[in-house]
Amino acid sequence: MALRHAVLAALLDGEYSGYQLAKAFDIGVANFWHALPQQLYAELTKLEKEGLIAGRQVVQETRPNKRLFQVTKAGRAELEDFAAAVSKPSSIRDDLLVKVQVADRVGTASVIGQLEERASAAEGKIELLGALLRQLRGDVDEEEFLRHGERIGPYLTCLRGLSFEQEHRDWCLRIASVLKERSALKERSVLKERKSTRAER
Amino acid sequence: MALRHAVLAALLDGEYSGYQLAKAFDIGVANFWHALPQQLYAELTKLEKEGLIAGRQVVQETRPNKRLFQVTKAGRAELEDFAAAVSKPSSIRDDLLVKVQVADRVGTASVIGQLEERASAAEGKIELLGALLRQLRGDVDEEEFLRHGERIGPYLTCLRGLSFEQEHRDWCLRIASVLKERSALKERSVLKERKSTRAER
DNA sequence: TGTGACTAATCAAATTCTTGAGTAGTGGAG
DNA sequence: CTCCACTACTCAAGAATTTGATTAGTCACA
């Protein structure tokens, strides 16, 4: 039941249409809750039906019309309740880790490639998040901002996203290099074996 | 489609029953793929039907009978294919981050409590993972083990789990202290205001 | 002599998430 | 002038995940 609350949380920062929300999700909220546009539209419809958000039509000339949504009082109350309720534990869910788990039993080459790809994707996200953080805090330094800024929620979650991506990148690079070294060692020992086999004949 | 591969990966380390698998999942595989027992039983049934694992009945005297499963050749091949295929990006999915996102707009007290609970849960997991890592590597040091150990897959994924939990703990504590300081500041300014209001009368 | 915890599973239902396609107009690049 | 990308949204099918019970014997503890 957290998608609805993630949507409410995102709408707290301003009016959005489904389409805009999908974009905003990708950079901000996706740090802790990923969702496809279809889900967002569906959730917005449900939330409106339940009176937790209110939508208004905006007629546009050169673009299709859109509906902007904002959180109602009931929506705010719902968020309050949610914040007070117990949360379930967080966890990683990652294909690539499954592959690493079996990396010493199956072909390694492809996994190494994927680790490096992942590392560079993480790098990209790190830069993005860094820029977002600078933008959110303005000219003041972090300590100051965290003490006195008015809207620190998104900043705090971005910090978590950033550290996650950094750890992820570092781990990917470390593991890639470990697997590479091991396959190089194996290669060498295979060559040696061939050589000695030849010598025996 | 990664649960099936996570199960195959886990079974690579030995024969397990559904029940044992559920336990093993909790400490090892759950680091990158969490699943409930019901899911595991269902998946084992499917995998057996498809010939990717083979089960054998073990009759027990004092305990209910159980079925132990091991990966077949076809299962190994399936894992190979999986390891070679592209993976989808990883991400955090966490209730608590949704709450932090709105922490400056709703009641903070409960969120602070939850952050501290989470931190101590993470602490517990850190110790568990540390012990697991020591056990996996035996007496040799990490560098040595990663270079020459035969089964490093689980070690590598535990390393990821460990760094995730450490970051998670640190972040929770940091955020909790930020939110506490802010609410203390607010408290003080409210008191001051009351005082000056009283003085005015 | 109950009480609760552990082993070993299975069933059903509801909910959530993913995959994939489709509509329809605008505006820019080559 | 065609093709592609962008805005804005919808529909449906399916797979995956969660929630919540239920069965049934064993064992330790008080």
Q: What is the CATH number of the domain that holds A14?
A: 1.10.10.10
What 3 state SS string does chain B have?
A: CHHHHHHHHHHCCCCECHHHHHHHHHHCHHHCCCCCHHHHHHHHHHHHHCCCEEEEEECCCCCCCEEEEEECHHHHHHHHHHHHCCCCCCEEECHHHHHHHCCCCCCCHHHHHHHHHHHHHHHHHHHHHHHHHHHHHCCCCHHHHHHHCCCCHHHHHHHHHHHHHHHHHHHHHHHHHHHHHHHHHHHHHHHHHHHHHHHHC
Chain C footprint positions (protein CB, under 7 Å): 7-12, 15-21, 24-27
Among the three residues B46, B63, B84, which one is the final residue of a domain in this structure? B84
A163 CA: distance to closest CA in chain B (Å): 7
Is residue A131 located within the same domain as residue A46? no
Q: Looking at this protein, which amino acid is placed at residue A16? A: Y
Q: What percent of chain B has pLDDT over 90?
A: 86
* B73 falls within a domain: yes
Q: Are A9 and A79 in contact (CB under 8 A)?
A: yes
Domain assignment present for residue B90? The answer is no
Distance CA A119, CA A128 (A): 14
As a whole number of angstroms, the distance between CA B175 and CA B30 comes to 25
Q: Report the residue from A2, A76, A83 with minimal CB separation from B111.
A: A83
Question: How far does the CA of B26 sit from the C1' of D21, in Å?
Answer: 22
Nucleotide nearest to B23 (CA to C1'): C7
B201 pLDDT higher than 60: no
pLDDT score at A201: 56
Is residue A159 a part of any domain in this protein? yes
Q: Are residues A139 and A115 in the same domain?
A: yes
User: Are B113 and B166 a contacting pair, CB within 8 Å?
Assistant: no
Q: Is the distance from CB of B18 to CB of B35 less than 8 angstroms?
A: no
The CA distance from A65 to the nearest CA of chain B, in Å, is 30
Whole-number Å distance between alpha carbons of B95 and A130: 23
Q: Are residues A75 and A107 in the same domain?
A: no
Spatial distance from the CA of A24 to the C1' of D7 (Å): 15
Closest C-alpha among B69, B9, B23 to residue B44: B69
The answer to whether A97 and B160 are in contact (CB under 8 A) is: yes
Instruction: Using only the alpha carbons of chain B, give its radius of gyration.
Output: 24
**In the prediction, which pLDDT does B196 show?**
72
A54 φ/ψ angles, rounded to the nearest 5 degrees: -125, 135
Same domain membership, residue A132 and residue A103: yes
Determine the pLDDT at residue B133: 96
Residues 84-103, chain B: which have Cβ within 8 Å of A?
Answer: 84, 86-103
> Which candidate, A56, A54, A55, A39, places its Cα nearest to that of A4?
A39
> Phi/psi at A191 (nearest 5 deg)?
-60, -45
- Give me the pLDDT at residue B33, please: 95
Structure tokens at A14: 């301003």
Task: Determine contact: B107 vs chain A, CB below 8 A.
Answer: yes
Residue A30 DSSP symbol: G
At B193, is the pLDDT very low, low, confident or very high (cuts 50, 70, 90)?
Answer: confident
pLDDT tens across B54-92, in order? 999 999 988 999 999 999 999 999 999 999 999 998 889
Question: Which domain does A14 fall in, by range?
Answer: 2-84
Question: B8 CA, D23 C1': separation in Å?
Answer: 28
pLDDT tens-digit map of B108-154: 999 999 999 999 999 999 999 999 999 999 999 999 999 999 999 99
SS3 label, residue A67: strand
Q: What is the pLDDT of residue B198?
A: 66
- The answer to whether residues A71 and A163 belong to one domain is no
Q: What are the start-end ranges of the E strands in A26-141?
A: 53-58, 66-71, 91-93
A40 and A136 in a single domain? The answer is no
**B30, B53, B84: which is the final residue of a domain?**
B84
Residues A89, A27: Cα–Cα separation, whole Å: 23
Does residue A89 fall inside a structural domain? no
Question: Which residues in chain A are closer than 8 Å to B170, comparing Cβ atoms?
Answer: 163
Together in a domain, A104 and A185: yes
Nearest CA in chain B to A78: B106
Q: Are B159 and B145 in contact (CB under 8 A)?
A: no
Q: Which of A190-194, B27-31, B156-160 has the lowest mean pLDDT?
A: A190-194
Do A99 and A73 share a structural domain? no
pLDDT at A25: 92
Whether residue A115 is found in the same domain as residue A168? yes
Q: Is B60's Cβ below 8 Å from some Cβ in A?
A: no
Within 10 angstroms of residue B93's Cβ, the number of other Cβ atoms is 19
Count of structural domains, chain B: 2
Interface check B167 vs A, CB under 8 A: yes
Write the CA distances from A4 to A34, A41, A43, A66, B95, integer angstroms.
12, 11, 6, 20, 11
Predicted confidence at residue A196, as pLDDT, reads 72
Across the range B95-115, mean pLDDT stands at: 95
Q: What is the pLDDT of residue A5?
A: 97
In a shared domain, residues A106 and A79: no
Structure confidence at residue B187 (pLDDT)? 79
Contact residues, A window 28-57, toward B, CB-based 8 Å cutoff = 29-34
Q: Output the pLDDT for position B199.
A: 66
Instruction: Pick the last residue of a domain from A56, A84, A112.
Output: A84
Is residue B186 one of the residues assigned to a domain? yes
Are A45 and A123 members of one domain?
no
Per-residue pLDDT in tens (0 to 9) along chain A, 201 residues: 899 999 999 999 999 999 999 999 988 999 999 999 999 999 999 999 999 999 999 999 999 999 999 999 999 999 999 999 999 988 899 999 999 999 999 999 999 999 999 999 999 999 999 999 999 999 999 999 999 999 999 999 999 999 999 999 999 999 999 999 999 998 787 777 777 766 665
Q: What angle do CA A128, A134, A139 make, to 5 degrees?
A: 165
Residue B189 lies in a domain: yes
Chain A CB contacts of B163 under 8 Å are: 167, 170-171
- Is there a single domain that holds both residue B124 and residue B47? no
> Rounded to whole angstroms, how far apart are CA atoms B108 and A80?
9
Q: Tell me how far apart the alpha carbons of residues A146 and A151 are, in angstroms, rounded to a whole number.
A: 9
Domain annotation covers residue A101: yes
Q: What is the pLDDT of residue A59?
A: 95
- Report yes or no on B35 lying in a domain: yes
A97-124 burial string, b = 16+ CB within 10 Å, else e?
A: bbbbbbbbbbebebbbebbbebbebbbe
Chain B residues touching residue A96 (CB < 8 angstroms)? 87, 90
Q: Report chain B's mean pLDDT, rounded to a whole number.
A: 93
